[in-house]
Amino acid sequence: MAEKLESVNPTRMELLKLKTKVKLAEKGHNLLKEKRDALIMEFFEIVEEAKGARKNAENKLKEAYRALTIAQATMGSLRVAEASLAVKPSTSLQIKSKNIMGIQVPVLDITVEKRSLLERGYSIRDTSAQVDEAARLFEEAIGLIAVQAEVEMTIRLLVDEIEKTKRRVNALENIVLPRLDATVKYIKMRLDEMERENFFKLKRIKALMDEG
């Protein structure tokens, strides 16, 4: 049996107040439970998405590394590194946010310019075609990595929210509601007791008066 609330007066007023409180708590509890379930459903959907995003990014990276290794093998890694330092920055990133059931979730807006080899910035005379290939693949990989990052962050935020909601549901279910119920019961018993006492008092007085 849960503890009753501290310092309540066993009065009818208090009882009425408590009853509305119980109603409110129950309503909140139901709402939160629904929210939790909805969040978990959303979560599983996004986990599915995350798996795909991860795979995509990894596959593209695998290709990109392969191309890079070939470039390094044909030109020497030093020369490739040299060429890479000459590349003009091309990526820009913008982070917006969208709302999934009250959670602000980031949306990465990444633009990687698809550039022709002349626009990249390194000299095409000193580099082999493999470098171009590697650059192209890495450009593609970045986009996929960004998707992965976005989905993973979404999952993290969702999990935080699910935990929070779960904690609230449990708190209501296991602490707040039992406590309120216990208090309601306590007040009811006290009121009944008082009524019996009163009734008996009246009886007793009547008996005394009849005697006298």
Partner 1 sequence: MNISVIADHSTVTGFRLAGVNKGFEAEDGKDALPILKELFKDKEAGLIIITEKLYEELDEEIKRLTEKRVTPMIVAIPDSKGFFDERIDPIRALVKKAVGIEIKY
Q: Which residues bind partner 1 (CB under 8 A)?
A: 40, 43, 47, 50-51, 57-58, 61-62, 64-65, 68-69, 72, 77, 80-81, 83-85, 87-95, 104, 106, 108, 110, 112-113, 115, 120, 131, 134-135, 138-139, 141-142, 145-146, 148-150, 152-153, 155-159, 162-163
Is there a contact between 155 and 43 (Cβ–Cβ < 8 Å)? yes
Residue 174 CB, nearest distance to partner 1 (Å)?
Answer: 15
In whole angstroms, give the CA distance from residue 55 to residue 178: 48
Q: Which is nearer to partner 1, 163 or 197 (CB)?
A: 163
Residue 34 CB, nearest distance to partner 1 (Å)?
Answer: 16
In whole angstroms, give the CA distance from residue 106 to residue 149: 10
Signed CA dihedral, 24, 29, 32, 34: sign only? negative
- CB under 8 Å to 61, separation ≥6 — which residues? 141, 145
Residue 2 CB, nearest distance to partner 1 (Å)?
Answer: 24
Q: Which is nearer to partner 1, 21 or 115 (CB)?
A: 115
3 state SS of 10: coil
